[in-house]
């Protein structure tokens, strides 16, 4: 694997889309070979699995099924897009990846790290992130920005208590993997966070 795999993580509404758009423009203008992709999704089959996972009509889905579907979508996504782009030496920027499964399924759903790590080891093979940006914004602050939950989104309906656990999960992951995680203060200005992302990418030799 020649390229680098960069992932963005954080609670819903932390500012990921905003930062990914700015990074996209930055990489484009610098002529840096890259792809942008997202999870769950990133390919025909993975996007179909995304549809099942995020459908508000599937509220009765078991936690185990949910975790396995995220891992299944990831396995297909790696096969379809991530591995080929890395082989070509491209920078792969992914909106959410395996740490979302650790924060949401292992910590917040309570499935535990062992089970979630095990099913994901099978899906990931050697495709671990080289660098993970965690936009640190509490769910209370993120929800305030978004003016409440989207009624059609099954995961946002899970409520504040769930999202607080997700947040705790991310903080624990950042502590557990200090070399891989770059923690960005989500309360900083949009431009300030964008500059921190660009300088971390340069410092780590990713661009
Ligand atoms: P996400 O993709 O994580 O759900 P968004 O990028 O859509 O989050 O941001 C959610 C909202 O917060 C948007 O209205 C966006 O304009 C605003 N926002 C994003 N980053 C910041 C920031 N650093 N400071 C203030 N508001 C922000
Ligand atoms: P999305 O609308 O893409 O959320 P966001 O804009 O906040 O990234 O929905 C993705 C949802 O899926 C989000 O709530 C997090 C959740 N998710 C998991 O629970 N586990 C995972 O492994 C992944 C990749 C996402």
Helix (H, G, I), strand (E, B) or coil at 123: helix
Of the listed ranges 58-72, 116-130, 132-146, 148-162, the least confidently predicted one is: 148-162
The predicted model gives 123-134 an average pLDDT of: 98
Least Cα distance to 27 among 120, 90, 112 occurs for 90
Does the C-beta of 193 come closer than 6 Å to ligand 1? yes
Atom in ligand 1 nearest the alpha carbon of residue 10: 3
Q: Which two three-digit tokens encode residue 88? A: 């070509």
163 in ligand 2 pocket by Cβ < 6 Å? no
Give the mutation target among 53, 100, 186 for probing the ligand 2 site: most ligand atoms within 8 A of CB.
100
Task: Report helix, strand or coil for 112.
Answer: coil
- C-beta of 104 in contact with ligand 2 (< 6 A): yes
Q: How many angstroms from the chain centroid is the CA of residue 175?
A: 17
Average the pLDDT over each of 42-51, 109-118, 139-148 and give the range with the smallest value: 139-148
Q: Distances from the Cα of 35 to the Cαs of 20, 60, 95, 105, in angstroms? A: 11, 35, 11, 27
Say which CATH number the domain at 12 has.
3.40.50.300
- Give residue-wise pLDDT tens across range 23-33: 999 999 999 99
**Among 169, 3, 26, which Cα is nearest to 98's?**
169
Ligand 2 in contact with 77 (CB < 6 A)? no
Q: Pull the structure tokens for residue 60.
A: 């009765």
pLDDT digits (tens, 9 = 90+) for 40-59: 999 999 999 999 999 999 99
Q: What distance in Å separates the CA atoms of residue 143 and residue 158, rounded to the nearest whole number?
A: 13
The count of domains in the chain is 1
Q: What pLDDT score does 155 carry?
A: 57
Range of the domain at 27: 4-203
* Ligand with smallest separation from the Cα of 19: 1
Instruction: Please tell me if the CB atom of residue 15 comes closer than 6 angstroms to any atom of ligand 1.
Output: yes
Q: How many CB atoms lie within 10 A of CB 3?
A: 21
- Per-residue DSSP letter, 147: T
The closest-lying atom of ligand 2 relative to the alpha carbon of residue 17 is 6
Name which residue leads in pLDDT, 117 or 154: 117
Which of 152, 155, 170 to mutate to test ligand 2, by most ligand atoms within 8 A of the CB atom? 155
Q: How many whole angstroms from 207 Cα to the centroid of ligand 2?
A: 27
Mean per-residue pLDDT of the chain: 94
């Amino acid at each position: 694997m020649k390229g680098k795999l960069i992932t963005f993580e954080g609670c819903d509404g932390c500012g990921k889309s905003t930062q990914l758009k700015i990074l996209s423009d930055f990489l484009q203008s610098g002529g840096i070979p890259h792809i942008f992709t997202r999870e769950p999704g990133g390919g025909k089959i993975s996007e179909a699995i995304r549809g099942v996972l995020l459908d508000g009509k599937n509220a009765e889905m078991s936690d185990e099924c949910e975790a396995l579907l995220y891992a299944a979508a990831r396995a297909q996504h790696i096969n379809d897009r991530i591995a080929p782009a890395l082989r070509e030496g491209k920078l792969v920027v992914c909106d959410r990846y395996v740490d979302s499964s650790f924060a949401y399924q292992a910590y917040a759903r309570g499935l535990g790290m062992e089970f979630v790590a095990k099913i994901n080891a099978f899906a990931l093979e050697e495709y671990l992130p080289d660098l993970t940006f965690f936009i640190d914004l509490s769910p209370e602050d993120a929800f305030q920005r978004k003016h409440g939950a989207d009624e059609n989104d099954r995961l946002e309906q899970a409520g504040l208590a769930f999202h607080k656990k997700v947040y705790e999960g991310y903080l624990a992951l950042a502590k557990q993997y200090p070399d891989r995680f770059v923690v960005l203060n989500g309360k900083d200005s949009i431009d300030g966070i964008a500059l921190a992302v660009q300088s971390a990418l340069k410092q780590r030799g990713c661009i």
